[in-house]
Amino acid sequence: MQWQASFQKRLGYTFRRPELLVLALTHPSACAEQQGPAQSNQRLEFLGDAVLQLVLSSELFRKFPGRDEGGLSKNRAWLVNGETLAAQGRVLRLGEILVLGRGEEKSGGRDRDSSLADAFEALLGAIYMDGGYTKARAVILRQFGEALHGADAGQFVGNPKGELQELVQAKSAAGPEYRLVDTVGPDHARVFVCAVRYQGEELARGNGKSKKAAEAAAAAAALEVLRGAKTGRGKKRSTPAAGHA
């Protein structure tokens, strides 16, 4: 199939058993609408999660010999969280080729974080089953190369909520608080708006395609406010929609 050839070129890996690729892209909703037994990507997702954890744990352990267990765990937690995995799925344009049920299709499943993250992990499981650990590791390191490089800056790279909490709790035991203040748009393209407050004062607002993404955007904006305040340039602001929601 033409879509398989173009996708495998984009992925940088060619399946010897293309049926594994199709299975990795089959959402459970597609199976629910079929008559008779059918398989979804859930088993491959389980396997892919384990392979991803091992590869990234090994790479972080190798790259940061001076970082303690807590720092390594925080790095890994960010690399494998749902939003990050969904972003990896969007890079590969998995949404375009997911096999979905009609209901899931109509409700915006092609751009849903959970669907994309699950399919990405299932894809890694399929590569492992098709080509073994070395091939799967190569794909993972290629996909996460930029993120792993960015982790050199510290344990909170790409985790604005963690960085904001660390920053404010250096001053007091109180932490930032997040509140959902608005939702806009139709159900299939909902945008969430969250505010972050500290000691009763609103620091910033952010928006995104999920509540978690909006909170992260608000935290990133708050970090700019607090850093700007140190140099006399700070003012309250909100961020545009998060790109990896």
Q: In which residue are the tokens 């969430």 written?
A: 192
The topology (CATH level 3) of 2-153 is Ribonuclease iii, N-terminal Endonuclease Domain; Chain A (1.10.1520)
Q: What angle do CA 84, 163, 177 make, to 5 degrees?
A: 95
The residue ranges of every structural domain in the chain are 2-153, 160-241
- pTM exceeding the 0.85 threshold for the entire prediction: no
User: Which numeric CATH code is attached to 160-241?
Assistant: 3.30.160.20
pLDDT digits (tens, 9 = 90+) for 25-53: 999 998 877 765 578 999 999 999 999 99
- Residue with the bigger pLDDT between 154 and 133: it is 133
Report the mean per-residue pLDDT for the chain: 84
Predicted confidence (pLDDT) at residue 154 exceeds the cutoff of 60: no
Q: What b/e readout covers 14-35, taking b as 16+ CB neighbours within 10 angstroms?
A: ebeeeebbbbbbbbbbbbeeee
Q: What pLDDT band is residue 134 in, cutting at 50, 70 and 90?
A: very high
Mean pLDDT calculated for residue range 3-31: 94
Residue 117: C-alpha distances to residues 55, 90, 201, 241 (Å): 17, 9, 35, 19
The catalytic site residues sit at 49, 121
pLDDT at position 94 is 94
Cα dihedral sign, 60-76-133-147: negative
- Residue with the bigger pLDDT between 140 and 108: it is 140
pLDDT digits (tens, 9 = 90+) for 137-152: 999 999 988 777 666 5
Spatial contact of 218 and 204, defined as CB atoms under 8 Å apart: yes
> Lowest mean pLDDT: which of 65-69, 138-142, 187-191, 211-215?
187-191
